[in-house]
């Protein structure tokens, strides 16, 4: 039996539980390495930089998206058992995270969603100053009056 060759010509093992070893990636120069000082409001995690400030997280995540819009991903994860929400923005070189357990941060998350929707649809150079969650709330209030009167 000959070994299966993957899409890029790499030899793959026939057993699905054995994966080929991963190549180490070059660390990004903008992310401080082990032993280097982090800016205030940041904590070093093995899987990314955990930011404590919401405004800094939004600013840096928008910068990250504008620098490389093709590979940047935005992910949110909610753990009901802990009541924690984790937002993550990454471009495979730098990973930014924001964790919260506060209910009022849901409105902030909605505004960040609207910012990313605008950037992804209009392009990375779009103006995001007019984007907010208030536009949707005003549209919903105007629809309340429609319907049959009693």
Give the span between the Cα atoms of 95 and 125, in whole angstroms. 22
Give the span between the Cα atoms of 84 and 82, in whole angstroms. 5
What residue segments make up the domains of the chain, in order of their start? 39-120
Any bridge partners for residue 86, and if so which? 77, 99
Give the span between the Cα atoms of 128 and 58, in whole angstroms. 12
Q: What CATH number does the domain located at 39-120 have?
A: 3.30.720.10
- pLDDT above 60 for 30: no
Each residue of 71-91: pLDDT tens digit?
999 999 999 998 899 999 999
Give the span between the Cα atoms of 39 and 92, in whole angstroms. 21
The answer to whether the pTM exceeds 0.75 is: no
- pLDDT above 70 for 94: yes
What's residue 97's pLDDT? 95
């Amino acid at each position: 039996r000959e070994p299966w060759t993957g899409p890029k010509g790499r030899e793959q093992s026939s057993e699905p539980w054995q994966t080929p070893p991963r190549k180490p990636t070059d660390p990004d120069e903008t992310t401080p390495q082990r032993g280097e000082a982090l800016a205030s409001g940041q904590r070093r995690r093995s899987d990314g930089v955990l930011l404590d400030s919401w405004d800094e997280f939004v600013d840096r995540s928008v910068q990250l998206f504008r620098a490389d819009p093709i590979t940047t991903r935005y992910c949110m994860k909610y753990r009901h058992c802990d009541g924690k929400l984790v937002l993550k923005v990454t471009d495979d070189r730098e990973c930014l995270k924001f964790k919260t357990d506060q209910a009022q941060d849901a409105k902030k998350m909605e505004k960040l969603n609207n910012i990313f929707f605008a950037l992804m649809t209009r392009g990375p150079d779009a103006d995001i100053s007019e984007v907010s969650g208030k536009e949707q709330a005003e549209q919903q209030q105007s629809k309340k009056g429609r319907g049959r009167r009693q």
